[in-house]
Structure 1
Amino acid sequence: MGELKDTIKGLGNEIAGNAKQAAGDARNDPEQKAEGKAQERKGEVQQGVGKVKGAVGDRV
């Protein structure tokens, strides 16, 4: 069940990160854009963790 939680959190972080990047572009704010990129990467990692948990859980 943890895999679903990680996947959902990751997707949320990815979406929020993309929104921050867009806002940073619109405001010409490189710091906000960088924050968005970092949050997007965090979301991608969280989704990866969820996939690994799901794969391991299926094999146990």
Structure 2
Amino acid sequence: MSDGMKDKAKAIGKKIKGEAKDQWGSATDDPQRKAEGKRDKAKGEAQDTIADAKNNNK
């Protein structure tokens, strides 16, 4: 598996983790957990963009 694909898999994991935290924060009315989820999703999106760039450069 190439580095770009590994990064892509990690990015997807972060986005899923972030979505879960976001939903949990909404369900439990926990604004801190919701914010953590949004932050994790944003990190995942950034990592996904980097992975795409790595894959496109090959």
Q: How high is the TM-score relative to the length of structure 1?
A: 0.92
**Residues 39-58 of structure 1, C-alpha deviation per residue, up to 9 Å, x if partnerless?**
0010111111110001111x
> How far does residue 15 in structure 1 lie from its aligned partner after superposition?
0.4
Q: Secondary structure at the match of 2:49?
A: helix
Partner Cα distance (1:34, 1:43) in 2:
14
**Other-structure match for 2:3:** 2
Partner Cα distance (2:6, 2:47) in 1:
9
- Point out where structure 1 has 5 or more consecutive residues left out of the alignment: none
Instruction: Calculate the aligned-residue CA RMSD, in Å.
Output: 0.5
Please tell me whether Structure 1 or Structure 2 has the larger radius of gyration of its CA atoms.
1
- Point out where structure 2 has 5 or more consecutive residues left out of the alignment: none
Q: Does residue 25 in structure 1 map to residue 26 in structure 2? A: yes
